[in-house]
Amino acid sequence: MHSRTRSAGPPHPWRAPCVPIPPPGPPPPRPRARRARRRPLPPGGPFAAAFAGAGRGFPGRGGGRGRGPGGPGGRGRGADAPPPVDRAEVAGWFTGRLPDDWTAVAPELTVDRDEITVVVTVPEPTAEVGTEPAAADAARSGRIARFREDTRARRVEVAEAAQERFGRTVSWGARCGDVTELFTTVSAPVMTRLRQSERLVLDTLVDAGVARSRSDALVWSVRLVGQHADEWLTQLREAMQSVEEVRAQGPKLG
Protein backbone atom coordinates (compact mmCIF):
# COMPACT_ATOMS: atom_id res chain seq x y z
CA MET A 1 0.00 0.00 0.00
CA HIS A 2 1.06 3.41 -0.72
CA SER A 3 0.77 5.95 2.12
CA ARG A 4 -0.49 9.41 1.39
CA THR A 5 1.06 12.38 3.07
CA ARG A 6 -1.06 15.58 3.41
CA SER A 7 1.03 18.51 2.56
CA ALA A 8 0.62 21.75 4.43
CA GLY A 9 -1.18 24.18 2.24
CA PRO A 10 -3.41 27.22 2.56
CA PRO A 11 -6.42 26.89 4.87
CA HIS A 12 -9.74 25.93 3.57
CA PRO A 13 -11.55 28.92 2.11
CA TRP A 14 -14.67 28.60 4.36
CA ARG A 15 -12.93 27.50 7.54
CA ALA A 16 -11.79 30.43 9.77
CA PRO A 17 -8.76 30.10 11.94
CA CYS A 18 -9.36 29.26 15.59
CA VAL A 19 -9.15 32.28 17.88
CA PRO A 20 -9.14 31.69 21.65
CA ILE A 21 -12.16 33.23 23.45
CA PRO A 22 -11.23 35.11 26.64
CA PRO A 23 -13.00 34.06 29.81
CA PRO A 24 -16.02 36.19 30.77
CA GLY A 25 -15.25 39.04 33.18
CA PRO A 26 -17.47 40.86 35.73
CA PRO A 27 -20.37 42.88 34.26
CA PRO A 28 -19.93 46.67 34.08
CA PRO A 29 -21.47 48.61 37.03
CA ARG A 30 -24.95 49.98 36.46
CA PRO A 31 -25.56 53.70 37.03
CA ARG A 32 -27.34 54.34 40.33
CA ALA A 33 -30.59 56.22 40.17
CA ARG A 34 -30.65 59.43 42.22
CA ARG A 35 -33.31 59.46 44.90
CA ALA A 36 -34.97 62.64 46.02
CA ARG A 37 -34.29 63.52 49.60
CA ARG A 38 -37.32 63.39 51.80
CA ARG A 39 -37.79 66.05 54.37
CA PRO A 40 -38.47 64.74 57.84
CA LEU A 41 -42.10 65.09 58.83
CA PRO A 42 -43.07 66.56 62.18
CA PRO A 43 -44.75 64.32 64.73
CA GLY A 44 -48.35 63.68 63.87
CA GLY A 45 -48.13 62.26 60.37
CA PRO A 46 -48.03 63.84 56.91
CA PHE A 47 -51.04 66.09 57.48
CA ALA A 48 -49.40 67.67 60.50
CA ALA A 49 -46.77 69.19 58.19
CA ALA A 50 -49.41 71.18 56.31
CA PHE A 51 -50.85 72.72 59.43
CA ALA A 52 -47.79 72.84 61.70
CA GLY A 53 -47.36 76.36 63.02
CA ALA A 54 -50.10 77.78 60.81
CA GLY A 55 -52.63 78.17 63.60
CA ARG A 56 -55.46 77.22 61.29
CA GLY A 57 -57.60 74.16 60.93
CA PHE A 58 -59.94 72.96 58.26
CA PRO A 59 -62.34 75.64 56.99
CA GLY A 60 -65.51 75.73 59.00
CA ARG A 61 -64.09 73.49 61.74
CA GLY A 62 -62.72 76.10 64.10
CA GLY A 63 -59.05 76.99 64.10
CA GLY A 64 -59.77 80.57 63.09
CA ARG A 65 -62.08 79.96 60.12
CA GLY A 66 -65.75 79.49 59.72
CA ARG A 67 -67.96 79.35 62.76
CA GLY A 68 -65.97 76.92 64.86
CA PRO A 69 -64.50 77.66 68.27
CA GLY A 70 -61.39 79.13 66.71
CA GLY A 71 -58.98 78.40 69.51
CA PRO A 72 -58.70 80.03 72.91
CA GLY A 73 -59.58 83.48 71.60
CA GLY A 74 -63.27 82.69 71.09
CA ARG A 75 -65.43 82.04 68.07
CA GLY A 76 -63.77 82.70 64.75
CA ARG A 77 -60.33 83.49 66.20
CA GLY A 78 -57.19 81.66 65.16
CA ALA A 79 -54.44 80.42 67.40
CA ASP A 80 -52.18 83.23 66.11
CA ALA A 81 -54.66 85.94 67.13
CA PRO A 82 -53.62 88.12 70.07
CA PRO A 83 -55.23 87.23 73.38
CA PRO A 84 -58.18 89.32 74.58
CA VAL A 85 -57.30 92.25 76.80
CA ASP A 86 -59.10 94.02 79.58
CA ARG A 87 -60.07 97.44 78.24
CA ALA A 88 -59.97 98.93 81.72
CA GLU A 89 -56.38 97.72 82.02
CA VAL A 90 -55.50 99.32 78.67
CA ALA A 91 -57.09 102.63 79.71
CA GLY A 92 -55.33 102.60 83.07
CA TRP A 93 -51.95 101.78 81.51
CA PHE A 94 -52.18 104.63 78.98
CA THR A 95 -53.37 107.06 81.65
CA GLY A 96 -50.29 106.30 83.73
CA ARG A 97 -47.89 106.15 80.76
CA LEU A 98 -48.90 109.29 78.87
CA PRO A 99 -47.61 112.72 79.92
CA ASP A 100 -49.85 114.74 82.22
CA ASP A 101 -50.59 117.43 79.64
CA TRP A 102 -51.94 114.70 77.31
CA THR A 103 -54.39 113.41 79.91
CA ALA A 104 -55.98 116.69 81.05
CA VAL A 105 -58.94 115.25 79.15
CA ALA A 106 -59.15 111.46 79.21
CA PRO A 107 -57.90 110.14 75.86
CA GLU A 108 -60.32 108.17 73.72
CA LEU A 109 -59.26 104.53 73.30
CA THR A 110 -60.53 102.11 70.66
CA VAL A 111 -59.33 98.51 70.97
CA ASP A 112 -59.81 95.62 68.57
CA ARG A 113 -57.87 92.44 67.73
CA ASP A 114 -55.23 94.24 65.66
CA GLU A 115 -54.95 97.81 66.84
CA ILE A 116 -55.23 100.25 69.73
CA THR A 117 -56.17 103.76 68.61
CA VAL A 118 -55.42 106.58 71.04
CA VAL A 119 -57.03 109.99 70.40
CA VAL A 120 -55.58 112.76 72.54
CA THR A 121 -57.44 116.03 73.15
CA VAL A 122 -55.26 119.10 72.61
CA PRO A 123 -56.18 122.61 73.79
CA GLU A 124 -57.70 125.01 71.31
CA PRO A 125 -55.80 128.07 70.07
CA THR A 126 -56.08 131.02 72.42
CA ALA A 127 -55.59 133.72 69.78
CA GLU A 128 -58.59 135.16 68.00
CA VAL A 129 -58.93 133.79 64.50
CA GLY A 130 -62.10 135.58 63.50
CA THR A 131 -65.70 134.53 63.32
CA GLU A 132 -65.46 132.48 60.16
CA PRO A 133 -65.95 128.73 60.82
CA ALA A 134 -63.37 127.87 58.17
CA ALA A 135 -60.72 129.97 59.92
CA ALA A 136 -61.46 128.35 63.29
CA ASP A 137 -61.26 124.86 61.81
CA ALA A 138 -57.99 125.70 60.07
CA ALA A 139 -56.54 126.93 63.38
CA ARG A 140 -57.58 123.69 65.09
CA SER A 141 -56.05 121.62 62.29
CA GLY A 142 -52.83 123.59 62.66
CA ARG A 143 -52.77 122.91 66.38
CA ILE A 144 -53.22 119.18 65.70
CA ALA A 145 -50.40 119.25 63.15
CA ARG A 146 -48.10 120.96 65.68
CA PHE A 147 -48.98 118.33 68.29
CA ARG A 148 -48.17 115.56 65.82
CA GLU A 149 -44.74 116.96 64.97
CA ASP A 150 -43.74 117.88 68.53
CA THR A 151 -44.72 114.54 70.08
CA ARG A 152 -43.49 112.13 67.42
CA ALA A 153 -40.58 110.66 69.39
CA ARG A 154 -42.61 110.33 72.61
CA ARG A 155 -45.50 108.63 70.80
CA VAL A 156 -43.16 106.11 69.18
CA GLU A 157 -41.70 105.25 72.58
CA VAL A 158 -45.13 104.74 74.15
CA ALA A 159 -46.38 102.74 71.16
CA GLU A 160 -43.45 100.30 71.32
CA ALA A 161 -44.02 99.69 75.02
CA ALA A 162 -47.77 99.18 74.53
CA GLN A 163 -47.25 96.81 71.60
CA GLU A 164 -44.91 94.66 73.66
CA ARG A 165 -47.40 94.55 76.53
CA PHE A 166 -50.72 94.08 74.69
CA GLY A 167 -49.61 92.52 71.37
CA ARG A 168 -51.35 95.15 69.23
CA THR A 169 -50.24 97.99 67.00
CA VAL A 170 -50.80 101.44 68.45
CA SER A 171 -52.16 104.25 66.27
CA TRP A 172 -52.59 107.86 67.23
CA GLY A 173 -54.99 110.71 66.63
CA ALA A 174 -55.78 114.12 68.06
CA ARG A 175 -58.93 116.14 68.69
CA CYS A 176 -59.10 119.91 68.94
CA GLY A 177 -62.61 121.28 69.38
CA ASP A 178 -64.79 119.82 66.65
CA VAL A 179 -61.84 118.73 64.49
CA THR A 180 -60.53 115.17 64.84
CA GLU A 181 -57.68 113.77 62.78
CA LEU A 182 -56.26 110.26 62.82
CA PHE A 183 -52.60 109.75 62.05
CA THR A 184 -51.19 106.59 60.44
CA THR A 185 -53.59 103.74 61.16
CA VAL A 186 -53.60 100.02 60.39
CA SER A 187 -55.35 98.76 57.28
CA ALA A 188 -55.77 95.06 57.99
CA PRO A 189 -56.83 92.66 55.20
CA VAL A 190 -60.02 90.70 55.81
CA MET A 191 -60.69 87.58 53.73
CA THR A 192 -64.26 86.48 53.13
CA ARG A 193 -66.34 84.30 50.81
CA LEU A 194 -69.54 85.61 49.30
CA ARG A 195 -72.34 83.79 47.53
CA GLN A 196 -73.76 84.92 44.21
CA SER A 197 -76.54 87.04 45.68
CA GLU A 198 -74.02 88.84 47.88
CA ARG A 199 -71.59 89.32 45.01
CA LEU A 200 -74.35 90.82 42.92
CA VAL A 201 -74.78 93.53 45.54
CA LEU A 202 -71.13 94.47 45.22
CA ASP A 203 -71.24 94.30 41.42
CA THR A 204 -74.25 96.62 41.40
CA LEU A 205 -72.32 99.21 43.40
CA VAL A 206 -69.38 98.88 41.02
CA ASP A 207 -71.53 99.17 37.88
CA ALA A 208 -73.32 102.21 39.31
CA GLY A 209 -70.02 103.98 39.93
CA VAL A 210 -70.39 104.04 43.72
CA ALA A 211 -67.22 101.95 44.13
CA ARG A 212 -64.28 101.19 41.87
CA SER A 213 -63.99 97.51 42.75
CA ARG A 214 -65.56 94.82 44.86
CA SER A 215 -63.12 95.62 47.67
CA ASP A 216 -64.18 99.29 47.67
CA ALA A 217 -67.83 98.25 47.54
CA LEU A 218 -67.34 96.01 50.57
CA VAL A 219 -65.69 98.87 52.49
CA TRP A 220 -68.54 101.18 51.48
CA SER A 221 -71.11 98.66 52.72
CA VAL A 222 -69.36 98.27 56.06
CA ARG A 223 -69.26 102.03 56.56
CA LEU A 224 -72.93 102.34 55.64
CA VAL A 225 -73.87 99.68 58.19
CA GLY A 226 -71.75 101.45 60.78
CA GLN A 227 -73.56 104.74 60.20
CA HIS A 228 -77.09 103.35 60.33
CA ALA A 229 -76.55 100.79 63.07
CA ASP A 230 -74.31 102.80 65.36
CA GLU A 231 -76.51 102.41 68.45
CA TRP A 232 -76.85 98.65 67.99
CA LEU A 233 -73.12 98.23 67.33
CA THR A 234 -72.33 100.25 70.45
CA GLN A 235 -74.48 97.97 72.58
CA LEU A 236 -72.89 94.93 70.95
CA ARG A 237 -69.36 96.23 71.66
CA GLU A 238 -70.26 96.89 75.30
CA ALA A 239 -71.60 93.36 75.66
CA MET A 240 -68.48 91.89 74.02
CA GLN A 241 -66.30 94.03 76.28
CA SER A 242 -67.89 92.43 79.33
CA VAL A 243 -67.35 88.98 77.84
CA GLU A 244 -63.66 89.67 77.16
CA GLU A 245 -63.13 91.04 80.67
CA VAL A 246 -64.62 87.89 82.21
CA ARG A 247 -62.60 85.68 79.85
CA ALA A 248 -59.38 87.51 80.75
CA GLN A 249 -60.00 86.78 84.43
CA GLY A 250 -60.17 83.01 83.81
CA PRO A 251 -57.34 80.53 84.29
CA LYS A 252 -54.47 80.55 81.80
CA LEU A 253 -53.87 77.33 79.88
CA GLY A 254 -50.45 76.01 79.06
pLDDT at 151 over 50: yes
> How does pLDDT run across 100-131, given as a tens digit for each residue?
999 889 999 988 888 899 999 999 887 776 66
What pLDDT score does 150 carry?
A: 94
More confident residue, 6 or 168: 168
Q: Kindly report the pTM of this predicted structure.
A: 0.53
Task: Say how many residues make up the chain.
Answer: 254
* CA pair distance 103, 151, nearest whole angstrom: 14
Tell me what the mean pLDDT of segment 26-45 comes to.
66
pLDDT category of residue 231 using cuts at 50, 70 and 90: confident
- On the question of pLDDT at 37 being above 70, the answer is no
Q: What is the mean pLDDT of residues 214-226?
A: 86
pLDDT band at residue 47 using 50, 70 and 90 as cut-offs: very low
pLDDT grade for 53, boundaries at 50, 70 and 90: very low
pLDDT band at 247 (very low <50, low <70, confident <90, very high): confident
pLDDT of residue 159: 94
25 burial type by CB count under 10 A (0-12 exposed, 13-18 middle, 19+ buried): exposed
pLDDT above 80 (res 161): yes
Q: In percent, how much of the chain has pLDDT > 70?
A: 70
DSSP string over the chain: -PPP-PPP-PPPTT-PPP-PPPPP-PPPPPPPPPPPPPPPPPTT-HHHHHHTTT---STTSBTTBTTS--GGG-TT--TTSPPP--HHHHHHHHHHHS-GGG-SSPPEEEE-SSEEEEEEE-PPP-S---S-HHHHHHHHHHHHHHHHHHTHHHHHHHHHHHHHHHSSEEEEEEEETTEEEE-S-----------HHHHHHHHHHHHTTS-SSHHHHHHHHHHHHHHHTHHHHHHHHHHHHHHHHHHHTSPPP-
Most confident residue range from 31-45, 92-106, 233-247:
92-106
| Across 173-194, average pLDDT | 85
Q: What is the mean pLDDT of residues 54-74?
A: 41
Quote the distance between the C-alpha of residue 213 and its chain's center.
22
Using a pLDDT cut of 90, give the percent of the chain over it.
24
